[in-house]
Structure 1
Amino acid sequence: MNINLKKRRHLLATSAIAFLGWAPAQAMAQAQPFPSRPITFVVPFAAGSATDQLARALGQSLTNDTGQPVVVENKAGASGMIAAAAVAKAPADGYTVLITTNTTHAANEHLYKKLSYDPVKDFAPVTALGKGGQVMVVNPASGYKTVADVIAEAKKSPGKLNFGSGSSSSRIAGELFQQMAGVQILHVPYKSNPNAITDLLGGQITMMFADMSTGVPQIKSEKLRALGVTASKRSPMLPNVPTIAEAGVPGYEMGYWFAAYTPTGTPPAAIQRLNELLVRATASAQSKSFFDNSGSEAFTSTPDGLAKFQAAETRKWGDIIKAAGIQAE
């Protein structure tokens, strides 16, 4: 037999054996269950924030469910842009998840001229996680007892009343109220909602749209009066307070939401598994405690459902911001 032919056959046989040894290992690697190592939840806001609290509750549930640790990494600053940009550039393997809000994925593109990330192209939607509303509050000394009282005074004296805000959600709630009620109310900006609450308690501003965790304690102590909630239905935390839609502005609804995203290119199987885990996690005892104490509620979706919801919310926020004449920074 030709020596070269013998060498070729030997090489082919050796390659075949090597392949047979490699194939099962490769198959085992591909079949390895997800997750098989720790997952990182990146949060765009500081430790202790509502988003951070939710991320930690969800993370504990995922750990209980899978046996894998979940690390919560806070990357606060720049209205969430630092965290969003970091996740957009992370490996698309399903092990880095952005737990975020409407701030990074609906509002920022209308509030800033240039973003360090693309809220659509750079991310793969996983699931919505929760949503909540705010509460319209006034100082009891103001004499306003209903939403109708505020509207009547605002129409009587355009520009006389004012409202404070320390977040994009708080401000946009006030802008939408003006647009739908047909009134002019002066906006007073603050660095945070607690700062606005302080001035409201002191009588320096007329009203504000506060998040539940900030407003409810003041309402319960009767230091502030609640006139209406911004969500489409009443809050379990304030069951006797009507929605603003019920109180005189039909169709009014403005709230905030939480959602999970991974970098674009994440394998569909990993996204589906994360969706299953996170949807289940929103019903955990830890998550239920968060929702109950923050005045929000679980709200989940399919990945495609989140994409459609985000698109609708982005249009809504853009329309409100444009109508209010807010200039992008």
Structure 2
Amino acid sequence: MSASPLTRGRLGVLAATMMALAGSALAQAPSWPTKPVKILVGSPPGGPSDITARVFAEQLGKRYSQPVVVENRPGAGNNLAAGVAAKAEPDGHTLVLSPDTVLTVNPLVYGSQNFDARADLVSVSVLSSFTQMLVCHPSTGAKTVPELVARARNANLTYASGGPGVPGHLASEMFLQGAGIRMQHIPYRGPAPATQAVLAAEVNCGFLATPTVLPHVKAGTLLALAVSSAAPSPLAPDVPTLATALRQPGLDASFRLVLQAPKDTPAAVVRELERAAAEIMKDPAVRTRLQGADLLAQGTTSAQARELMQTEMARWEPLVRRLGLKAD
């Protein structure tokens, strides 16, 4: 029995509606990623960038059912990894996670680069923030910040960092400026050798990533004097903040880890990435994992990331210019 004209009409409308809905779903479905995604990190394994990148990569891979790999390319204050990402195909399949210093400080410190971090990369999201811990070798003779300040007034002390303009260098200079003292800066090629230098008493002190130095503090081979954040570290709640130790409210040397993509990455891909970042970083399990490494999950929008970078540029540029920081 053939359908009546009325029934055929209803079926036609239903079919058209279903096709329209299917077309809408296809239009909304992300066209990214279509292949494995690589996240470059400009520091060795175990640091704040590496930890955040690996937690994020794991969740991103689950979300899109695509492999997401983290590749460490340490060197030049995180510039090496950022430079590789800047020259990658702008399709969202090569990303980089860097400390904000790549954008805020490095363009002022590194005179010869083969890329422009501020122009060649798009800030997708601030995934997390981290701070530094002021540690000293026991032979330095200072167990507190006031004791270190007193020692520095009467002796030529030194401090290590992972290189000119890195977070540990900036935190140290903020401390020295706030305390009104001097210590000689001894830059190393990365945080690992800087930590080893303090452990070996080649250098007196250093502001270094909390997860990196905390095992040595617990072992008694390093002494923790302060953390650079405005609030105490959840991993070392008994260690005072620098602001408290110096009695200078407002002192805060926190740093942000920025997920970036090459310029000209399609806006739709950036939106998909920032949406994924926001949702992943709100996950309680993710937040707990990062907090266990002294990292505060964030997950901002791209616009918020850009605004934060402008604020940090204005914050650190006067210090960089005052010190005349330069690197080969």
TM-score above 0.5 = yes
Cα pair distance change 1:164/1:52, threshold 3 Å:
closer
Given residue 235 of structure 1, which amino acid in structure 2 is its aligned partner? S
Given residue 298 of structure 2, which amino acid in structure 1 is its aligned partner? F
Given residue 275 of structure 1, which amino acid in structure 2 is its aligned partner? E
Determine if the alignment matches structure 1 residue 163 to structure 2 residue 162. Answer: no
Given residue 105 of structure 1, which amino acid in structure 2 is its aligned partner? L
- Rounded to whole Å, the distance in 1 between the matches of 2:143 and 2:75 is 37
1:88-127 to structure 2, matched below 5 A, reads: 88-127=86-125
- Rounded to whole Å, the distance in 1 between the matches of 2:138 and 2:75 is 35
- Rounded to whole Å, the distance in 2 between the matches of 1:204 and 1:96 is 39
- Rounded to whole Å, the distance in 1 between the matches of 2:191 and 2:262 is 31
1:126-145 to structure 2, matched below 5 A, reads: 126-145=124-143
1:200-279 to structure 2, matched below 5 A, reads: 200-248=198-246, 250=248, 251-279=250-278
Deviation at 1:306, TM superposition (A): 0.5
Q: Residue 45 of structure 1 aligns with which residue?
A: 42
Q: Which runs of 5+ in 1 are unaligned?
A: 1-25
Q: Residue 84 of structure 1 aligns with which residue?
A: 82
Cα pair distance change 1:119/1:222, threshold 3 Å:
same
Q: Residue 179 of structure 1 aligns with which residue?
A: 177
SS at match of 1:294: coil
SS at match of 1:246: helix
Deviation at 1:31, TM superposition (A): 4.8
SS at match of 2:32: coil
State the identity %.
26
Aligned partners of 1:131 and 1:297 also within 8 Å: yes
Cα pair distance change 1:91/1:325, threshold 3 Å:
closer
Superposed CA deviations along residues 282-309 of structure 1, whole A, max 9, x for unmatched, are: 2447744652342121122111110011
Deviation at 1:165, TM superposition (A): 1.9
Q: Residue 326 of structure 2 aligns with which residue?
A: 327
Question: What TM-score does the superposition give when structure 1 sets the normalisation length?
Answer: 0.82
Given residue 214 of structure 2, which amino acid in structure 1 is its aligned partner? V
Superposed CA deviations along residues 6-56 of structure 1, whole A, max 9, x for unmatched, are: xxxxxxxxxxxxxxxxxxxx9997554243513423313356243233222
Given residue 149 of structure 1, which amino acid in structure 2 is its aligned partner? E
- Rounded to whole Å, the distance in 2 between the matches of 1:192 and 1:161 is 21
Given residue 163 of structure 1, which amino acid in structure 2 is its aligned partner? Y
- Rounded to whole Å, the distance in 2 between the matches of 1:273 and 1:186 is 46
Aligned residue pairs: how many? 304
Deviation at 1:310, TM superposition (A): 1.1
Q: Which runs of 5+ in 2 are unaligned?
A: 1-22
- Rounded to whole Å, the distance in 2 between the matches of 1:49 and 1:143 is 29
Q: Higher mean Cα deviation, 227-236 or 34-43?
A: 34-43
Q: Residue 315 of structure 2 aligns with which residue?
A: 316
Deviation at 1:198, TM superposition (A): 3.5
Superposed CA deviations along residues 115-150 of structure 1, whole A, max 9, x for unmatched, are: 222222222221101111111112334332221122
Q: Residue 3 of structure 1 aligns with which residue?
A: none
Computed over aligned residues only, the root mean square deviation of the Cα atoms, in angstroms, reads: 2.7
Determine if the alignment matches structure 1 residue 35 to structure 2 residue 32. Answer: yes
Given residue 218 of structure 2, which amino acid in structure 1 is its aligned partner? K
- Rounded to whole Å, the distance in 1 between the matches of 2:65 and 2:106 is 36
Superposed CA deviations along residues 248-273 of structure 1, whole A, max 9, x for unmatched, are: 15132213321111222223222121
Q: Higher mean Cα deviation, 283-292 or 51-60?
A: 283-292
Question: What TM-score does the superposition give when structure 2 sets the normalisation length?
Answer: 0.82
